[in-house]
């Protein structure tokens, strides 16, 4: 159940997009990236076809809530001949506007024979796409770029799975979006009975606010009947995003409605995109619901920031926990 029920409100017309809305036969539609392009809300949706392979398809809406017009064919689909790392599809796009390049960057999961990895692509308009290629080797996913450079370098948040230990969120740096280094542990999965024990991963791309970079992340709780995916918040330092200023102890959103509890994967809310309306201060979070449909939850950004700033500063890591 939701523990902070008043922060985010579900859209009354949820789920806002279901597999039946696609103009061609699909299995499921979920985990969309989001952007505002020429006043329209654009969702870059993960669509799983009826083989089990995912591609990305564009939906557009004038208000980000209804009236969705969905492209008649995939916008970006795996091309295993030229990109063998995409042999089993492409998934879970996170979209970031890069003012310096005047392009949207898409960090997505390429499902390779060796496991999921992080790939990058760019687009000026969500009509044509250009691949930049893999950024991180497998297993790695849940990645997004910051919109600008820090000290001349691009910054990527991502979630590698180590051979030993839990799956934590990392941050890495690149001069050219191709060569990545200075890998640093950013946000750790907690331990034991915690809601985010064992596995955490970034949700939508970091959102710049006057108080810091707002992060929403998923935490996985493994139960006898499967994994529960719930959402928490953190705030990163504006100038040095390796510094976590605050992190919510409680989850702020979790599977509660039937469409979040019943589907191909039960008990999952999984956002990959959000949009902030400067005029109304509304933060719109687009999420996959039980890996089957797309839900929308909204909040006032002001209230979200007030909440996250009331959350504890994470404890200093023990020296032995450092990578
Ligand atoms: C994660 C990703 C997501 C998916 C979630 C729940 O590992 O694969 O695409 O929504 O699991 O199945």
Quick one: pLDDT band at residue 315, thresholds 50, 70, 90?
Answer: confident
Structural domain boundaries of the chain?
Answer: 9-310
CA torsion angle 305 293 166 202 (round to 10): -30
Q: What is the pLDDT of residues 59-116, one digit of tens each?
A: 999 999 999 999 999 999 999 999 999 999 999 999 999 999 999 999 999 999 999 9
**Ligand 1 close to Cβ of residue 270 (< 6 A):** yes
Cβ proximity of 120 and 105 under 8 Å: yes
Find, among 19, 75, 72, 12, the residue nearest to 43 by Cα: 75
SS (HEC) of 66-81: CCCEECCCCCECCCCC
Pocket test residue of 254, 291, 294 for ligand 1, highest count of atoms within 8 A of CB: 291
For 9-310, CATH number out of 3.40.50.12280, 2.40.50.140, 2.115.10.20, 2.60.120.10 equals 2.115.10.20
Q: State in Å: Cα 282 to ligand 1 middle.
A: 26
Beta strand pairing call for 269-276 and 199-202: unpaired
User: Is the CB of residue 117 less than 8 Å from the CB of residue 109?
Assistant: yes
Band of residue 319 on the pLDDT scale cut at 50, 70, 90: very low
Is 139's C-beta closer than 6 angstroms to any atom of ligand 1?
Answer: no
Report the atom number in ligand 1 closest to the C-alpha of 91.
9
232 close to ligand 1 (CB < 6 Angstrom): no
* Ligand 1 atom 9: residue of nearest CA: 92
Q: pTM for this one?
A: 0.96
Q: What is the pLDDT of residues 216-267, one digit of tens each?
A: 999 999 999 999 999 999 999 999 999 999 999 999 999 999 999 999 999 9
């Amino acid at each position: 159940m939701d523990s902070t029920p008043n922060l985010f409100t579900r859209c009354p017309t949820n789920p806002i997009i279901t597999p039946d809305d696609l103009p061609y036969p699909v299995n499921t539609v979920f985990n969309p990236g989001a952007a505002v392009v020429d006043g329209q809300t654009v969702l870059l949706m993960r669509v799983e076809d009826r083989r089990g392979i995912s591609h990305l398809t564009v939906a557009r809406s004038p208000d980000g809530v209804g009236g969705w017009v969905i492209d008649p064919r995939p916008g970006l689909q795996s091309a295993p001949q030229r990109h063998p790392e995409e042999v089993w599809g492409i998934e879970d796009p996170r979209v970031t506007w890069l003012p310096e390049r005047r392009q949207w960057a898409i960090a997505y999961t390429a499902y390779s024979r060796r496991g999921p990895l992080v790939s990058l692509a760019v687009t000026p308009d969500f009509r044509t796409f250009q691949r930049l290629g893999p950024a991180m080797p497998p297993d790695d996913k849940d990645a997004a770029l910051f919109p600008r450079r820090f000290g001349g370098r691009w910054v990527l948040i991502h979630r590698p799975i180590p051979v030993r230990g839990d799956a934590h969120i990392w941050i890495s740096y690149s001069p050219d979006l191709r060569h990545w280094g200075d890998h640093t542990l950013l946000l750790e999965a907690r331990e034991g009975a915690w809601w985010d024990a064992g596995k955490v991963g970034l949700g939508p791309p970091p959102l710049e606010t006057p108080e810091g970079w707002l992060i929403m992340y998923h935490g996985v709780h493994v139960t006898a009947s499967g994994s529960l995916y719930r959402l928490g918040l953190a705030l990163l330092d504006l100038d040095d995003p390796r510094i976590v200023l605050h992190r919510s102890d409680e989850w702020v959103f979790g599977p509660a409605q039937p469409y979040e509890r019943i589907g191909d994967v039960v008990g999952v809310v999984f956002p990959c995109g959000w949009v902030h309306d400067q005029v109304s201060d509304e933060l719109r979070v687009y999420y996959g619901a039980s890996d089957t449909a797309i839900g929308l939850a909204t909040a006032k950004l002001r209230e979200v920031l007030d909440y996250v700033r009331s959350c504890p500063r994470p404890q200093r890591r023990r020296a032995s926990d450092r990578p």
